[in-house]
Amino acid sequence: MGETPDALTEAVSQLRQKSDHIQGAAVITADGFILASDMPDQADADELAAHAAHVLGLAGEAVSGLERGELSEFYARGDQGYALLASAGEGAYLLVLCDHDAMLGLVLIAARSACKAIAAGL
């Protein structure tokens, strides 16, 4: 991977600055390792990345089984907010957590832009 950890950290930090409603962001691998993180509690970031990797596997199988191609984005809404997973280049994914007050369309635009920046350096 060509991008430095500092550049990845900068990418997720800039994403978090796009909205006060984005509560955390991380670049993770498909097997749950963190490449960069800007989460409010770093101890939880490792666990979140592991859960996100599991979800990526299941969502990827579902998309493939439904003959929709390869997984590019996955959204989940819970009673405490949204989780977004998006492909950010070869073997990397962006995890974004936001609250219910977030304008989800704007978060998606910002996340897609961050994914392009991350992928360009991988």
Domain CATH code at residue 20: 3.30.450.30
What is the count of structural domains for the chain? 1
pLDDT tens, N- to C-terminus, the chain (122 residues): 455 568 888 899 999 999 999 999 999 999 999 999 998 865 588 888 999 999 999 999 999 999 999 999 999 999 999 999 999 998 899 999 999 999 999 999 999 999 998 988 77
Record the pTM: 0.89
Burial of 94 (0-12, 13-18, 19+ CB in 10 A): buried
In the numeric block, the tokens 């989460």 are attached to 39
Give the orientation angle of helix 5-17 with respect to helix 104-121, to 10 degrees.
170
The per-residue b/e assignment along 38-65, b for 16 or more CB within 10 angstroms, e otherwise, is bbeeeeebbebbeebbebbeebeeebee
Distance separating alpha carbons of residues 9 and 31, to the nearest angstrom? 19
User: What is the span of the domain harbouring residue 26?
Assistant: 5-121
Q: For the segment 12-43, what is each residue's pLDDT rounded down to a tens digit?
A: 999 999 999 999 999 999 999 999 999 886 55
- Cα(44)–Cα(106) distance, rounded to whole angstroms? 25
